[in-house]
Amino acid sequence: MAQPKVMTAEEVRRGLGDVFDVVVAGQDVVIERRSKPVVAMIRYEDYAAIQEELEDLRDAQRAREVLEAIRSGKMKTVPWEQLKAELKAEGLIDD
């Protein structure tokens, strides 16, 4: 993985258009304030991919939590046919 370009907040303020060009060309940019990284700029396509991956990771974590709750008896399950019948009775689904 390529190292990101590191810039100060002042450098970014003076040359934002240049920063956009660097990012669009595929290089990540880390912006520092008082010598500490505070912002990262990445291409939107990379951001969207990261968001999708993060959503998948969160879904997997939630599934593990639910499975553990079921196994430990803190959460009960209902057979699908029973749930379907209850939803039909309440008018929430059609046949």
CA 46, CA 23: separation in Å to the nearest integer?
11
Backbone angles phi, psi at 75, to 5 degrees: -135, 135
Residues 26 and 9 in one domain: yes
Three-state DSSP class for residue 67: helix
Q: Could you say which DSSP state residue 74 is in?
A: S
Residues 53 and 33 in one domain: no
- Number of structural domains, the chain? 2
* pLDDT, tens digit (0-9, with 9 covering 90-100), for 29-88: 999 999 999 999 999 999 999 999 999 999 999 999 999 999 999 999 999 999 999 999
Residues 73 and 38 in one domain: no
Task: Look up tokens 């810039």; give the residue.
Answer: 7
Give me the domain span that covers residue 63: 46-89
Instruction: State residue 50's pLDDT score.
Output: 94
Residues 14 and 31 in one domain: yes
Residues 36 and 15 in one domain: yes
Residues 52 and 34 in one domain: no
**pTM attached to this predicted model:** 0.55
